[in-house]
């Protein structure tokens, strides 16, 4: 759910866009398709450096989403479903065609229904929501939001447990970001149990109730079912507990991948055929997880590795790359640059298929 190296990518995108290099390299860089990754679509997802909003990169405005769709449709890009993308990958695409676009939204937030769905519906665009079942059961502890809230609401954070030692002033935006970034990456490297234990203890110490937060932002099963009844919407699975699956035992990893699909079916009657690895980096989803997703019978599974889809992804349907429509990059020039492919060619050092 969170991206690596955002500032480095931003510099690269600006150079590529303003130099005109992306058009020059289009014949070799542009792939067959691109899967966009979104999380929250919120009216107040405005970039503001004066505000502490460390998870703002996961939020875009409905207006930006609409602007992207209008641009893509006006320029003859086809917005297709994941099922159609899987068919095209398996049957090889026609050369010379503009890349197709797939929209995916992770986790299962209620803003997807309130703010994204009306826009996709207005423009008749298919899209996918990957649901973490514990979120819809209102029992998912979103540790990244708890950390955000504790630092936002306090002038200092002091904590020493679970191998984490924090003693930081958090009086202003700069101090809050410095503390958040340091603690976030320590947590991200920890095992699931230790990480959740640490943030839960931190949240309790600072009187933050993470499950109240979950209730206020998560879709209910009724809402998931309602969305899934629209043929524009694909419901995919995103584990039960939103764990970094690579850090789990074989048995637990398989349960997260297989059982989440069963729960979605039991709660909504929807058959899930697509899967999304939480966090999605190589440290959090790798060869073992790709094998498990394939064995579970999914048609595709997506990571958060950056990149376009190329013909070679036919052999890597359980490790498909995506491109974040990121809250820090809410300008149409970035989207114009993404779909020509060069930024990801450079980012991946001219590899079309990520090497695991
Ligand atoms: Zn997620």
Q: Encode pLDDT of 174-201 as tens digits.
A: 999 999 998 998 898 888 888 889 999 9
pLDDT score for 6: 67
Of 96 and 290, the structure prediction assigns the larger pLDDT to 290
What's the N-to-C CA distance of the chain in angstroms?
Answer: 19
Where does a domain end: 168, 191, 211? 211
- Number of structural domains, the chain? 2
Q: Token pair for residue 186? A: 């320590």
Query: Residue 340 C-alpha to ligand 1 middle, in angstroms?
Result: 26
Residues 52 and 34 in one domain: yes
Alpha-carbon distance of 271 to 13, in angstroms, equals 38
Tell me whether residue 225 is in a domain. yes
- Rounded distance from Cα 100 to ligand 1 centre (Å): 23
Find the mean pLDDT for residues 8-29: 81
The answer for residues whose C-beta is within 8 angstroms of residue 280's C-beta and 6 or more apart is 1, 302, 303, 304, 305, 322
Cα dihedral: 3, 227, 243, 247 (round 10) = -80
Return d(Cα 99, Cα 310) in angstroms, integer: 10
Distance CA 238, CA 255 (A): 12
Query: Do 14 and 22 touch, CB atoms closer than 8 A?
Result: no
Scanning the structure block, which residue is given the tokens 């929250």? 40
Whether residue 283 is found in the same domain as residue 246: yes
Q: Ligand 1 centroid to 132 CA: how many Å?
A: 7
Sign of CA dihedral 190, 354, 28, 336: negative
Is residue 275 in some structural domain?
yes
The stretch 131-154 carries a mean pLDDT of 95
Say if 207 falls within a structural domain.
yes
353 domain residue, yes or no: no
- For residue 354, count other CB atoms closer than 10 A to its CB: 16
Output the CA 40–ligand 1 centroid distance in Å: 11
Q: How many CA atoms lie within 13 A of 108 on its CB side?
A: 37
Residue 1 pLDDT more than 60? no
The C-alpha angle with vertex 109 and arms to 107 and 114, in degrees rounded to 5, equals 145
> Do 10 and 152 have their domain in common?
no
Q: Are residues 131 and 238 in the same domain?
A: yes
The CA distances from residue 64 to 34, 70, 135, in Å, are 18, 10, 26
Task: Provide, for the chain, the percentages of residues in helix, strand and coil under a 3-state DSSP scheme, each rounded to the nearest 5.
Answer: 50, 15, 35
- pLDDT above 70 for 5: no
pLDDT at 101 over 60: yes
Beta bridge partners of 309: 33
**How close is the Cα of 39 to the center of ligand 1, in Å?**
8
What's the 2 CA to ligand 1 centre distance in angstroms? 9
Give the Cβ contact number of residue 49 at 10 Å: 7
Ligand 1 is an ion; its neighbours by CB within 5 Å are 1, 106-107, 278
Residue 277 falls inside a structural domain = yes
- Tell me, in angstroms, the distance from the centre of ligand 1 to residue 141's CA: 12
Which of 155, 182, 211 terminates a domain? The answer is 211
Average pLDDT of span 200-209: 94
| Within-domain flag for 159 | yes
Could you tell me the pTM of the whole model? 0.94
Domain housing 40: 6-139+219-347
Gap from CA of 96 to ligand 1 centroid (Å): 34
Q: Does 125 lie in the same domain as 113?
A: yes
- Sign of CA pseudo-dihedral 232, 236, 241, 242: negative
How far is residue 281's CA from residue 66's CA, in Å, rounded to a whole number? 28
Q: Which of 211, 239, 259 is the last residue of a domain?
A: 211
How far apart CA 308 and CA 343 sit, in angstroms, is: 10
d(CA 320, CA 244): 17
Mean of the per-residue pLDDT values for the chain?
92
Q: Are residues 242 and 101 in the same domain?
A: yes
CB atoms within 10 A of CB 125: 21
- For 221-271, what is each residue's pLDDT tens digit? 999 999 999 999 999 999 999 999 999 999 999 999 999 999 999 999 999
**Cβ–Cβ contacts within 10 Å for residue 316, how many?**
19
Q: How far is CA 304 from the centre of its chain?
A: 7
Q: Report residue 50's pLDDT band, with 50, 70 and 90 as the boundaries.
A: confident
Looking at the structure, tell me whether residues 148 and 277 fall in a common domain. Answer: no
């Amino acid at each position: 759910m969170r991206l690596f190296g955002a500032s480095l990518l931003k510099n690269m995108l600006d150079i590529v866009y303003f130099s005109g290099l992306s058009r020059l390299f289009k014949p070799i860089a542009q792939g067959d398709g691109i899967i966009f990754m979104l999380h929250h679509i919120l009216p107040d997802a405005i970039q503001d450096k004066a505000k502490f909003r460390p998870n703002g990169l996961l939020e875009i405005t409905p207006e930006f989403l609409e602007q992207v769709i209008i641009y893509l449709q006006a320029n003859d890009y086809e917005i297709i479903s994941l099922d159609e993308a899987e068919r095209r990958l398996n049957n090889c695409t026609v050369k010379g065609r503009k890349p197709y676009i797939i929209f995916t939204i992770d986790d299962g937030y209620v803003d997807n229904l309130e703010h994204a769905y009306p826009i996709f519906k207005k423009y008749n665009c298919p899209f996918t929501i990957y649901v973490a079942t514990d979120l819809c059961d209102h029992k998912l502890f979103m540790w990244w939001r708890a950390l955000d809230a504790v630092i936002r609401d306090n002038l200092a954070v002091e904590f020493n447990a679970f191998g984490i030692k924090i003693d930081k002033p958090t009086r202003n935006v700069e101090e809050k970001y410095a503390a958040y970034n340091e603690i976030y990456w320590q947590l991200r490297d920890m095992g699931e149990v230790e990480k959740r234990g640490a943030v839960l203890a931190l949240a309790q110490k600072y009187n933050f109730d993470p499950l109240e937060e979950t209730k206020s932002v998560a879709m209910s099963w009724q809402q998931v079912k309602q969305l899934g009844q629209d043929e524009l919407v694909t419901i995919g699975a995103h584990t039960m507990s939103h764990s970094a699956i690579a850090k789990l035992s074989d048995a637990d990893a398989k349960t997260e991948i297989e059982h989440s699909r069963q729960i979605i079916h039991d709660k909504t009657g929807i058959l899930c055929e697509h899967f999304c690895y939480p966090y999605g980096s190589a440290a959090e989803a790798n060869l073992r997880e790709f094998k498990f997703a394939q064995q579970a019978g999914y048609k595709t599974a997506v990571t958060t590795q950056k990149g376009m889809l190329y013909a070679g992804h036919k052999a890597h349907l359980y490790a498909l790359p995506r491109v974040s429509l990121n809250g820090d990059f809410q300008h149409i020039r970035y989207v114009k640059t993404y779909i020509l492919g060069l930024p990801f060619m450079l980012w991946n050092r001219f590899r079309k298929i990520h090497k695991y």
